[in-house]
């Protein structure tokens, strides 16, 4: 069906899964406030939130298979959006399942923490659907404000409050940059709709307009903060360290996924013609992020900080897919985000199991000799680490994901050979901490005073086993997702390819 | 009129950025961020004179979101104050490395 987004009913139908999640989250918020806080009520709100997430996931898959399209309008209706929604909902489901057990252990009885995850997820779904700067802004803010609260959800933790404050201040600061960028792009083109901006940049010969260039640069800074690329990454390790582990997983995987999808859509739909102006900046950010993120990761003893730097490194790999600026890059990015999210949630699931009663951060010493006390957790963590590193076969989907990104970089209209080389070299650097982790678990003796980890709670076990199984399955059989993702970029493929806009004389390079 | 408004809003935005980068009090930092958002609002209103109503609609969204952000932000600052009895960022240093 081809939606006409100017008609309210059709617009509503096109927003179906988003509206289902939003209204469901509102109802659950009332339900959470209905009874006084207690451990039992927290669990029941969590379980109902999981049910709502699964319902929305089913609705999204149904929309994916219907293969609807839409005319011009404020939101996109394409498989790229539905695939991104699936990644987001999987992430939200994993987060809620992990935090039900984690909240119980830490004595957090606030049932609304699960509702906040749902509200953040609805903001992300809006963000990945956006084809208008207003919707981009609203989506980012609905997502961010919920995440600020989630970062500080453990009221008894001073570290949590500090992480939340840092996240809030830098998040608001970056939003202001993004917004000023949007304002200047609006000033240059007179439009907020992405495709209209793209058309006007070409038809009004805007390529050298200083207002447009400053606007694009400010938007790049804003998104750079949100996805934690290198000059703007300082907040990430602190915030990831301070937040509860399931929420850290949510921030590292799902928030990043949603922001990257919007980033790609804006850059390929609104600014494809301006590629000569932004291409070098994005490529430079990608290279710096890959090198510095992975290099600092080597020095970390605190496991959550290590994973924070690893996630900064992954932001660099994903920027390579954006720098490729092609359909292949878009589908490679979606597959990468799926593989990365699954591996991240497996790793953070295991971290929540190992975390003790205290607020003390988890270090590599807590993982020493894990193989001797909890062999299955050690095996799970190994698969997650190898997948994040992109190790063949044992790393499952992580390897295929990196392979696709490399392929996209090399087959781009303007081949990104240098970035591909940096990607491979930094993957080698990252082995320094991923494999060190594996070595510590299998070859170090268990420390003297370190207690054996508690039993894995059932829901956490489901998340860990499910995520690991999917990682391995996607590594063996990646085709269905890539096919869905490749079929899922009709809007992007209709946008003029960046190569068209290059001045004559620059080799197109196929 | 457009040029003056744009210049003024750019100056306001820069004052906000400098404030965020140099001040160390969480509340003042937050006020500087609000200043930046209002500079953006001014830009939108100025451009709306040329391009029509979309810019003004955007301003309403920004104001609404800024209000929600203020509610959450002040709550977070209070939560931190309960732990540390200060809102000065120089004394807030549990997380580093």
Q: Could you please report the per-residue DSSP string of B12-35? A: HHHHHHHHHHH--BHHHHHHHHHH
Run of H or E residues at A240: helix A235-242
Q: How many CB atoms lie within 10 A of CB A132?
A: 21
CB distance from A359 to chain B under 8 Å? no
Neighbours of A89 (CB within 10 A): 27
Phi then psi for residue A130, to 5 deg, are: -65, 135
In degrees, to the nearest 5, what angle opens at C-alpha A147 toward C-alphas A28 and A291? 145
CB half-sphere exposure, A353, CA atoms < 13 A: 27
Q: pLDDT tens digits for A471-496? A: 999 888 777 666 665 555 544 444 33
Quote the CA–CA distance of A90 and A341 in Å, as a whole number.
Answer: 9
A503 pLDDT above the threshold of 50: no
Q: Is the pLDDT at A96 greater than 50, yes or no?
A: yes
Determine contact, residues A190/A212, Cβ cutoff 8 Å: no
In this predicted model, what pLDDT tens digit does every residue of A225-276 receive, in sequence order? 999 998 888 899 999 998 999 999 999 999 999 999 999 999 988 888 888 8
Per the CB < 8 Å rule, is B54 touching A152? no
Say yes or no to pLDDT of A84 above 60.
Answer: yes
pLDDT classification of A502: cutoffs 50, 70, 90 = very low
Test B79 with A161 for CB contact under 8 angstroms: yes
Contacts of A191 in chain B (CB under 8 A): 51, 54
Greatest Cα pair distance in chain B? 50
Q: Provide the whole-model pTM.
A: 0.92
In angstroms, the CA A412 to CA A434 distance is 30
The residues near A122 (Cβ < 8 Å, ≥ 6 apart) are A18, A21, A22, A25, A142
pLDDT at residue A506 greater than cutoff 60 = no
State whether residue B67 sits within 8 Å of chain A by CB.
no
Number of Cβ atoms within 10 Å of the Cβ of A465: 15
* Å between A193 CA and nearest CA of chain B: 10
Quick one: pLDDT at residue A218? 94
Q: Chain A: nearest CA to B13, how far in angstroms?
A: 9
Instruction: State the pLDDT at residue A499.
Output: 29
Residue A180 pLDDT = 95
* Among A308, A320, A321, A334, CA closest to A252: A308
Mean pLDDT of A20-48: 93
3-class secondary structure, A70: strand
Interface of A with B in 420-439 (CB under 8 A): none
d(CA A114, CA A29): 9
Q: How many A×B Cβ pairs under 8 Å?
A: 124
**Distance of alpha carbon A324 from alpha carbon A340, whole angstroms:** 19
Asked whether the beta carbons of residue A162 and residue B30 sit closer than 8 angstroms, the reply is no
- What tens digit of pLDDT does each residue of A313-369 get? 999 999 999 988 888 888 889 889 999 999 999 999 999 998 866 677 888 888 888
CB of A64 within 8 A of CB of A86? yes
Predicted confidence (pLDDT) per residue in A443-464, tens digit: 988 877 777 788 888 899 999 9
* Residues above pLDDT 70, as percent of chain A: 93
Say how many CA atoms lie within 13 Å of A332 toward its Cβ.
Answer: 27
Nearest to A142 by CA among A123, A122, A170: A123
Check residue A415 and give its pLDDT: 80
Under an 8 A CB cutoff, do B40 and A152 touch?
no
- Region A87-103: mean pLDDT is 94
Residue B65 near chain A (CB below 8 Å): yes
A 10 A CB-CB count for A197 gives 25
CA–CA distance from A127 to each of A64, A475, A483, B2, B58 (Å)? Answer: 17, 28, 23, 31, 16
Any B CB within 8 A of A134 CB: yes
pLDDT in tens, chain B (97 residues): 888 999 999 999 999 999 999 988 999 999 999 999 999 999 999 999 888 888 999 999 999 999 999 999 999 999 999 988 888 887 777 666 5
Query: Residue A487's pLDDT is what?
Result: 55
Q: Which residues contact A498 (CB under 8 A, 6 or more apart)?
A: A268, A272, A273, A275, A279, A325, A326, A413, A414
Q: How confident is the model at residue A501 (pLDDT cuts 50, 70, 90)?
A: very low
Strands (E), A138-248: none
Other residues' Cβ atoms within 10 Å of the Cβ of residue B7:
11
A120 has a chain B CB within 8 A of its CB: no
What's the residue count for chain A? 510
Show the domains of chain B with their CATH numbers. Answer: 2-87 (1.10.287.3510)
- pLDDT higher than threshold 90 for residue A393: no
Q: What is the pLDDT of residues A40-55, one digit of tens each?
A: 999 999 999 999 999 9
């Amino acid at each position: 069906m081809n939606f006409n987004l100017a008609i309210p009913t059709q617009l509503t139908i096109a927003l179906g899964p988003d509206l289902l999640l939003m209204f469901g989250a509102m109802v659950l918020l009332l339900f959470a406030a209905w009874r006084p806080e207690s451990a039992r009520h927290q669990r029941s709100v969590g379980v109902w939130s999981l049910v709502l997430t699964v319902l929305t996931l089913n609705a999204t898959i149904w929309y994916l298979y219907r293969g609807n399209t839409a005319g011009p309008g404020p939101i996109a209706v394409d498989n790229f959006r539905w695939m991104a929604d699936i990644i987001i909902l999987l992430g939200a489901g994993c987060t809620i399942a992990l935090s039900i057990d984690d909240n119980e252990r830490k004595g957090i009885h606030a049932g609304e923490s699960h509702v906040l995850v749902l509200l953040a997820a609805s903001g992300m779904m809006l963000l990945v659907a956006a084809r208008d700067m207003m919707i981009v802004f609203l989506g980012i803010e609905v997502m961010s404000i919920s995440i600020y609260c989630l970062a500080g959800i453990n009221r008894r933790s001073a570290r949590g409050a500090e992480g939340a404050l840092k996240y809030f201040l830098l998040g608001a600061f970056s939003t202001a940059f993004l917004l000023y960028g949007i304002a200047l792009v609006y000033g240059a083109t007179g439009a907020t709709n992405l495709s209209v901006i793209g058309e006007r940049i070409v038809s009004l010969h805007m390529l050298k307009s200083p207002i447009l260039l400053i606007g694009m640069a400010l938007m790049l800074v804003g998104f750079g903060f949100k996805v934690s690329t290198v000059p703007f990454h300082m907040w990430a390790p602190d915030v990831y360290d301070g937040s509860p582990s399931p929420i850290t997983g949510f921030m590292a995987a799902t928030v990043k996924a949603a922001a990257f999808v919007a980033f790609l859509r804006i850059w390929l739909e609104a600014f494809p013609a301006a590629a000569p102006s932004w291409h070098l900046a994005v490529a430079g950010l990608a290279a710096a992020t890959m090198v510095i993120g992975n290099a600092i990761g080597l020095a970390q003893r605190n496991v959550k900080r290590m994973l924070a730097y690893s996630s900064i490194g992954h932001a660099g790999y994903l920027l390579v897919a954006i720098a490729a600026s092609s359909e292949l890059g878009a589908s490679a990015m979606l597959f990468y985000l799926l593989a990365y999210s699954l591996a991240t949630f497996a790793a953070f699931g295991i971290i929540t199991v190992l975390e003790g009663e205290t607020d003390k951060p988890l270090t590599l010493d807590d993982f020493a000799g894990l193989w001797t006390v909890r062999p299955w957790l050690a095996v799970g963590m190994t698969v997650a680490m190898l997948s994040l590193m992109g190790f063949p076969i044992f790393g499952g989907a992580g390897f295929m994901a990196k392979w696709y990104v490399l392929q996209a970089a090399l087959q781009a209209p303007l081949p990104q050979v240098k970035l591909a080389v940096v990607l491979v070299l930094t993957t080698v650097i990252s082995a320094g901490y991923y494999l060190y982790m594996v070595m510590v678990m299998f070859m170090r003796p268990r420390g003297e005073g370190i207690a054996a980890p508690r039993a894995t709670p059932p829901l956490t076990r489901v998340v860990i086993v499910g995520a690991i199984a999917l990682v391995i399955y996607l590594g063996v059989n990646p085709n269905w997702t890539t096919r869905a993702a490749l079929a899922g970029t009709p809007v992007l493929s209709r946008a003029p390819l960046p190569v068209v806009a290059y001045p004559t004389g620059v080799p197109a390079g196929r | 009129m457009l040029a003056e408004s744009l210049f003024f809003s750019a100056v306001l935005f820069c004052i906000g950025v400098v404030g965020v980068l140099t001040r160390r009090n969480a509340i003042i930092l937050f006020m500087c961020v609000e200043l930046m958002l209002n500079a953006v609002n001014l830009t939108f209103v100025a451009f709306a004179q040329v391009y029509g109503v979309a810019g003004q609609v955007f301003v309403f969204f920004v104001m609404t979101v800024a209000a929600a952000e203020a509610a959450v932000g002040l709550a977070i600052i209070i939560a931190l104050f309960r732990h540390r009895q200060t809102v000065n960022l120089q004394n807030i240093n549990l997380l580093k490395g």
